[in-house]
Every structure is written in C-alpha cells, then in structure tokens.
Structure 1
Amino acid sequence: MNNFLFVASENDAIHNCKVGGVGDVIRDVPREISRKGDRVHVVVPSYSRLHQGGKLITNLNFRLRDVTYVAYLYEVEPKEKDENIFHYVIHHPEIESGDIGNVYHNDLTEPFFTDTIKYFIFCTAVAQAIKQNVFGKINIMHLHDWHTSLLLFLRKFHPKYEMMQGIRTVYCIHNLAIQGIRPFENSHSSLQTWFPNLEIPREELVDPRYADCFNLMAIGIRFADVVHTVSPSYKEDVLLPSEPPEFIGGEGLEQDLIEADRQGRFYGILNGSEYPAAKKTGNRTLFKNIYNTIFDQVQKETVKHKIDFLAHTGQKILPYLKKRPGFICASVARLTEQKFYFFKRSPEALLKILDKLATVNGVYVLLGTGAPEYEHLLRKISHQRANFIFINAQSEDVIESIYRESDLYFMPSLFEPCGISQMLAMRNGQPCLVHHTGGLKDTVRHVHTGFSFDGRTYEEKVQNMVASFEEALDIYQNEKETWKKIRKNARKMRFTWKKSVDEYYKLLYKWTS
C-alpha cells in the first residue's frame, strides 16, 4: 500500500474550503486513489477558521525569522467519509482568511505579499509534520500550484528537512499565470527575512524576468521529481512564449518547462469529473433559486454597497418565475481577466450576443464575483440590457441549476488550463461554446459536442466568438435534429477521474508502484 500526502491551498472534500477548480481536484483524486487501495493524507491551511470543531493531533514547532513558531495540526471531518482518506488543516494566527473566497488575499500594491507569508508558515509546518512522522512513512507527495512549492525549497536546501528527499514528489500546475513572485531580500515576504540562516542559491531560484526576485512556481517546476499540467493541450501551450492577448503560453517560464520536458519529467494529463447519478429534482428551479439567492444576499451587511443592484436583478427575473425564456445561455466563473477578458476589452461583442438572444426571447445568466472592474462593467451592461441577468453573488443551488437547465454554456476564457465547468455542463447534455484553448481544446469539438471559436488576431477571435454564438443559436432554432445530436454527443462524453488517475499511476507515481 502506498501512502500519499496531498498538499494544497483548497480542498472541497471539507466544508468552506473551495474557491476554484483546485478544490475539486483535491476532493476527487484522493477518492480514486483510495479505490485503488492506497492511503491518502490531505492537508490545507486552516485560514483561522477551518480548525474549529476539528481534533487537535499535535503541535508543530519550527524556526522561521530566527524565532520559534508553533502551529497546530487538526484532523477535520470531511463531507463524505472514506476509511483510506484523512483530512487535516494547519492553524496558526498568521495563516489568515483572505478576501477572495475566505482563502486568498488580494494585495493590490504588492501581489502575493500576504499569501506568501501565510504559505511560508503553512509549508514549513507541513515539513515539520512529515519530520515528526505524523502521517506515517510517505511514499508520494503531490503538491499543487505555487502555494505549496516551498516544500521543494525546504526539501533541497534546508538541512532539517532533508529527509523529504526520499519522498517521490509530484508538482501540479493548475494555473501557470499565478506564480508567487517575491523579492529575495528587503521585504517582509522575502526569503532572507523568513530563512535568515540558510544559504540562498539565488541562481537556482531566480525569476527569469526579475533578477531580484524568486519565483515559487519556478521552484516547483525545477525541483519536483515530475511535473504535470491539467490537460495535454495546456502542456503544449505553456512550452511556447506568451503573446498576449492573442496567446497565453509559458508566461516567462517556458524555458524551465522545456528543460523539464527534455528531461522526461513533464506531462499533460486531463483532469476528470465526477459522474454521479442524476439528481431527482425539478427541472424548473433556476429562476426560483436565483430569486432565493438574491433575497438571502440583500439581508447581509457585507453587500450593502450593491443592494440596489441585487434588487434590480431580482426584478428582472420575476417574469421567468412563471414562464421560462425562449433560450438560456449561462456562465459560472470568477470575474477575472482569464475568464472574461474578451467582454472587458470588447463589451460591444457581448452587446451583440445579447441583441441576438433578444430576437428569440433569450437571456444570458452569468453568476460570479471577482475583480471590481469586471463587476462594475457587468452591472453596467445589466442596466443596459433587460435580457442580461448578472448574479453578482455566489450560490451552489444556482450553479447546479445552471448546469442542469441552461441551453448553452458559454466559456470565453482567454486561456484555460483545463476547465471543469464545461465537463459539468456536458454531462447534463448541455452544449458549450468555448474559446479553442488549453483544456477546452481537449474537451469540446465544434458542432459535435458543442461549439468553439479561435482566430489569429484578437479581432478575429472576438468576431468569431460572436459568429459561433450566432451559429449555435441558428442550429438550435432551425436544425432541431442536429441540436439533439450535439446534446446527445455531449452527454455521452466521459472525462473520468479513473482514467486520469490511471495516467497518474503510470506517469507520475510509477517509481513506487
């Protein structure tokens, strides 16, 4: 039996610890490993809240900043129990809850400042837990994104934690664009501040673009035994230099990735999706759930600044409580440059899509929160167009209804390492309209399981986005049999975690199997 340790910033197997797709992966992959008879320990930060109600396992004492830190390891209850999976959180007062999903901090003037500090503490505490043999003998350590890569730095350069060199270490890149870049020195979030007694080999840690900074994503790529992205096409993308906004590739780390690929330790493996039995719920709950979400939101003190807009949205959906629109297009995503850059730079394209929808009594439902400039833009367009229903809030009930009831799922991501939303929509027989990039290339085929758009220039991409939307709507209206076939093909697709994890064992975990 192999004994795994998964280290990540999110884990949707426990309550209130998910912001994005990383949480889904950390929930689902251990389940598949357990089905193979292996054991998994999963550890994430507590964010000053997740340890509450947990069982204290041990204190963890370690040195940072030339002082002794004490962190606390708790075992916590998962949403679903599995005898082979153990879930933990690490609590320390400086590992704070952030303003993004109560997980990450959004430092506008110094990106990654606060998060770097809390993940320094978290990773060192994990290393200490391994040293104290809390998880037993670990065979494989699977790390996720820059938030956990400090463990590779400690493994290679810290004499106290050299015992980790005997552990097979896998590093997963979920989003290469977010890299955790901070100064070597002269900052509270520098390596010199937190590890003053270590000899820091700057040439091995340096960011390719900023000579005075280290890059935690690069550390993961350089020092892991094996590295993987979350789709084959995203792997091919990141081996090439970025040329934004037409193409988002290696984001400055393409040479590190090319070297890892040359060494035979870089892979692209498509994420999977769970395929549970269809829920026995009504198929007309979307607008009721939107209404209930808005009612709940307006009672919260934290959203007083947008109560007027929430009321505006509630008023817009009232007619649809009695009669469904003629066509429902929908999106669910964080409001970021990655997800909605095309809308921000070319709002006229979104307006054209809404005008086209209006000809068939159609609506576009978009649920999300995020960057203030994106929220402002979408609230403005919602006031301009009656058929744009922008739900500037979060609701699992609304999300589930969107995946179950919409006619077309819209995913115009500027880049997409893998994407889970298109898989969730497709398993319900919902065609998706996507940008032909990254993992979306690997999951959606134009006029077979959905629709896609691309282009050589930014202008071509935006024109083709509108044209592909018009094509989808035309097929829905005028080629009923073709639409039914596309829906059937989408529903038949299976992106299973069993297939993905089989590839993990073959390519990533193979030294211990």
Structure 2
Amino acid sequence: MRVVHVASEVFPFSRSGGLGDVLGALPAVQAQQGAQVTVVSPWYAALAGTPVELWRDELAQIGVVRVGQLQQDGVQFLFIGLEEFDRPGLYHDDDVWRFTRFGRAVLPVLAKLGILPDVLHGHDWQAGLVVAHAHDLRWSTAFTVHNLQYQGRWNLAESAAWTGLGPEWFSPERAEFYGDLNLMKAGLVGADHVTTVSPQYAREITTREYGEGLEGVLVRLSLEGRLSGILNGLDQERWDPRTDPDVPPYADLTGKAAATKALRAEFALDEAPILGVVSRLAGQKGMDLLIEALPELVQDWNVVVLGGGDPLLTAALQGWAQHARVSFAEGMNEALAHRIYAGANAFAMPSRFEPCGLSQMIAMRYGTLPVVRETGGLVDTVPEDIGFRFAEATPQALAQACRQANATFQDRPAWTARSERGMALDFSWTGPARQYLELYERLAARDHSGSQEGQ
C-alpha cells in the first residue's frame, strides 16, 4: 500500500499542536505495518532538521518550487519550499493564500518525483485543495478533520483564480460557502471518505452545535457511509514515564512520587494536591471556565498552568499567578509539559469541544487522573472509573468535578486503583494505524473511472 499524507505540520520538524503529533507518529507505525509512506508538508524557514534538496524547478502557474527530503523511521518526508513559507513561524494571516499555493504544488511535485500513491490522505483544511485536485484526477482519497473550527475561508471572487480548480467547484454543492472559498469543505466534498479523530466527534459534527456551519455536508456524508471516526493514538515512546529524560523515571505510582516532589519544589507549592493544565489558552479549551473556577479550585488544589494564546486569558492567569496556589508558565515548553504530566496528581481539560485530545491520554499514562468535560475524544478515552467527567461547559460544573476528584484523592486506595488502571490503558497507534490501512484498502479497490459529481 503506497500512501501519501499531506499536512501543514509534522513533528519533530514542525508542530503547533495535535496535528503535528499525529503526523509524527501515524506514518511511522503504518510503515512498520508494511505500507510505503510519504509525508508532504511545507518547507518552513524555521524547519527543525535539514532536508536534502532533491529538486528545484519552476512549475507552471506556481513559480520556483524547491523540494527537500528526509528519511526517518521508514518514512519519506518531502518538504515543499515556496517563497510564501520563507518567514518565521508556521501560521499567518494570509494562510489561505499560502496553503492554496502549497495545495497547487503538491500533485505536480509528486508527478515530477514519480510518486503515484494508492491513496492520498489529506489532513485538515490546509490539505483540502490537494484532495480536490486529486478528486479531479480520480485518485483514491481520504480526508481527516482534526478540528472543524478552522476552515480556510476567503472571498470566493478574489480567491477562485488562485486554486486552479474548474468552475464546477465554485458552487454550494462543492467548495463555495456563503460567498467564500472554503478549503475544509473542498476536502470534505472531494474525498472518497472522511474521518475524524474520534468516534464521538464524528457524531457531534453532524449537529448544529458542533458542525460549524458544515453539518449539512457532514450529515450527507454520514448517511452515505462516508464519514467515520478513528481514535488518535499516542506516541508511547515519546510519552513513557519509564524512559522520559525530562522527569525522574518511574514505572509505578511509588516512583511517581518523586516527580510530584520535584514539581512541588520547582514551583514552591504547598502540600495540597496538584492540578495540572497544559493547553492552548483558548475558548475552545475552556480556559475561561478554568479561570472563573479558580477561586474555588485553590481551596483544595495547587494549580499549575502551562500555555499560550489568547492575550486576555494570558493576562488573567498572570494576575492569578500572584496567588500562592496558582503557578503559570506562558508559552509552550516541551520539557516542562513532561514534568507537569508526571508531577501533577490530576489534570484538567474543561474543553467546550475536543476532537480527540492527547493530553488526557498522556496524563493517564503518567498516572495522573484527568478531569474532563464530556465531549469528543474525551468521552472515548477517559473511562468513568479512572477520570472525572462533567457534562456542562460551566465553571460550576468544573469545580464540582474537581471537588469530587479531591474527595477521591483523600481515599488513597481508591485514587491508587484509578491511577493504576489509567497507566495500564493501551493508547498505542497500532490499532488506529491498522484501521486506516484497512480503510485505504477499501478506497483503493473502488472504481474511480466514472465521475464522482455531486459528492
């Protein structure tokens, strides 16, 4: 099975969140399972690692394109270099333009390099245009929604000429969305099959509450049997308390005590249990709910927060950090994240929606019990006999769940039993990777000789 993944980021070369983590782990496991895997991503100026330049040429309608290659874990990584990506950082205000340019370059580059996949797998809106062009070539395609909230929209009259798509695409049945080009919709409509990163999220996005205006398209896909959820896995080598270089290594809860002691010393915390948070500071993640609940949380917990994002939420946490039981580290710090996962007793994720989430899996692997809202992948991954779940996206519901967690913490045998069950869960990529390969086999076996008009 020859597979090409297309995504805007891939760990460890480029990463802003869970998408990069998935592309850093899934392809390697698929390669171990016998697939021939290529990952295509932009060649960012700040790319971690130095690709070997394979090719540099001028493509019609695109201009000068560079292609770099790296081989790692049995996977071929191709990085497409365009002048629009020669700037610091990954994402910018003109990303629809930048990823339209990237999207138009992918298939010509694959053709130049003689790469013809059995299945092309696009990830999120940044790969939506690639899937649309692959659809027109009658390739077998899969498309994964990692977060439906971000859709890649731009005024259609201005952007249509950028895409290289035929006029049939610029209708409400295809990529037009209330007068805009919508690259997420292009991927949804163009793909043979759409997946999301958890079964629960696949159900949720067919509703008005979670469908982000695309629920009509998604209901149709669901009714046609072309929408499903495959739960993300976790890179269990990267996240392993027995071998983690950033924490005192441990294999059981006796060893975890040293990590908790170290975190307590690092932030000068008192003897109250520690509630950890590692998150983007955003409304989606419910960080405003956490802040509103802090007056009650600090009665029982030390709260340690690592994250960056919304300036208002950042400022609120900076203010709260003056409190003896609240610690806040701004930005993302990989080593500190590991220390929080290992050292905290509980871990809060009050998300308004959560397509899958990795933090709750990491926390349980490190013996830290998650306190989560019942949404998306949090429902699929946090058993009620391990973590603490709450239904409403309110500070009161979060505080109540944390009170329940604290009461359980006082019953050490009960807490220990929950923690040990969490550490024993298998969140490896082996099962999900196999599910994707089985999906690819079905898609590759389909007859693409006829038109897929109206999908």
Is the TM value for this pair above 0.5? yes
Indicate the residue corresponding to 2:308 in structure 1.
369
Matched, 1:116 2:96: yes
Counterpart CA distance in 1 for 2:214 and 2:180 is: 14
> Deviations for 1:76-133, whole angstroms, at most 9, x for unmatched residues?
36xxx32x311121111112445xxx2112x3xxxxxx1111111111111111222x
| Corresponding residue SS for 1:279 | coil
Deviation at 1:495, TM superposition (A): 2.0
Q: How does 1:397-476 map to 2 (within 5 A)?
A: 397-446=335-384, 448-455=385-392, 461-476=394-409
Superposed, which structure 2 residues align to 1:264-413 within 5 Å?
264-276=225-237, 278-279=242-243, 281-282=247-248, 284=258, 319-320=268-269, 325-343=271-289, 347-357=291-301, 363-383=302-322, 385-413=323-351
1:156 positional shift = 4.4
Matches of 1:90 and 1:470 in 2, distance apart? 50
**Aligned counterpart, 2:81:** 91
Question: Where does residue 226 of structure 1 map in the other structure?
Answer: 193
Larger relative contact order (Cα-Cα within 8 Å, sequence gap ≥ 6): 2
Residue of structure 2 equivalent to 1:237: 204
Q: 1:76 aligns with which of 70, 81, 95?
A: 70
Contact 1:342-1:412 at 8 Å conserved across structures: no
- Partner SS, residue 299 of structure 2: helix
Q: Is 1:496 aligned to residue 440 of structure 2? A: no
Q: 1:387 to 1:341 in 2, by over 3 A?
A: closer
Partner of 1:4: 3
Query: What's the offset of the Cα at 1:61?
Result: 2.9
Q: Secondary structure at the match of 1:47?
A: coil
**Corresponding residue for 2:452?**
none
Give the deviation of 1:63 after TM superposition: 3.3
Question: CA 1:184–1:318 in 2, change beyond 3 Å: closer, same or farther?
Answer: closer
Distance in 2, Cα, partners of 1:196 & 1:470: 56
Q: How many angstroms apart in 2 are the aligned matches of 1:339 and 1:135?
A: 42
Contact 2:297 2:402 in 1 (8 A): yes
Task: Give the fraction of aligned pairs with identical amino acids, expressed as a percent.
Answer: 28
**Aligned-partner SS, 1:138:** coil
**Any unmatched runs of 5+ in structure 1?**
108-113, 243-248, 292-316, 358-362
Deviations 1:270-329 (A, max 9, x none): 1111333512652646787899xxxxxxxxxxxxxxxxxxxxxxxxx5635xxx743111
Gaps spanning 5+ residues in structure 2: where? 249-255, 446-455
Specify the code of the residue in structure 2 equivalent to 1:473: N
**Among 153, 163, 187, which residue is 1:181 paired with?**
153
Q: Which moved more, 1:400-409 or 1:50-59?
A: 50-59
SS at match of 2:149: coil
Where does 1:114-263 land on structure 2 (aligned, <5 Å)?
114-132=94-112, 134=113, 136-156=115-135, 162=137, 165=138, 167-186=139-158, 190-192=159-161, 194-195=162-163, 198-199=166-167, 201-203=169-171, 204-208=173-177, 210=178, 212-242=179-209, 249-263=210-224
Contact 1:226 1:508 in 2 (8 A): no
Task: Indicate if the aligned counterparts of 2:262 and 2:343 stay in contact, CA closer than 8 A.
Answer: no
| Distance change in 2, residues 1:440/1:234 (3 Å) | same
Q: 1:409 to 1:23 in 2, by over 3 A?
A: same
Q: Is the 8 A contact 2:286 2:350 kept in 1?
A: yes
- 2:253 is aligned to none
- State whether residues 382 and 390 of structure 1, in contact with CA within 8 Å, keep that contact through their aligned partners in structure 2: yes
Q: Which residue of 2 aligns with 1:298?
A: none
Structure 2 residue identity aligned to 1:199: P
Equivalent position of 1:58 in the other structure: 55
**Contact preservation (8 Å) 1:4, 1:138:** yes
Distance 1:274 1:318 in 2: 28
- TM-aligned CA distance change 1:508 to 1:342, over 3 Å: farther
**CA RMSD in angstroms, aligned pairs only:** 2.3
Per the TM alignment, residue 52 of structure 1 is displaced from its structure 2 partner at its CA by 7.0
One-letter identity of the residue aligned with 2:417: K
Runs (4 or more) in structure 1 with deviation over 4 Å come to 195-198, 283-291
Change (3 A) 1:213 1:397: same
Q: Is the 8 A contact 2:134 2:141 kept in 1?
A: no
Q: How far off is 1:200 after superposition?
A: 5.3
Query: Matched residue of 2:58: which SS?
Result: strand
- For the residue of structure 2 that corresponds to 1:53, the secondary structure is coil
- SS of 2:167's partner is coil
CA shift for structure 1 position 414: 0.9
Q: Following TM superposition, by how much is the alpha carbon of 1:59 offset from its aligned partner in structure 2, in angstroms? A: 2.2
Q: How many equivalent residue pairs?
A: 431
**Deviation at 1:48?**
2.3
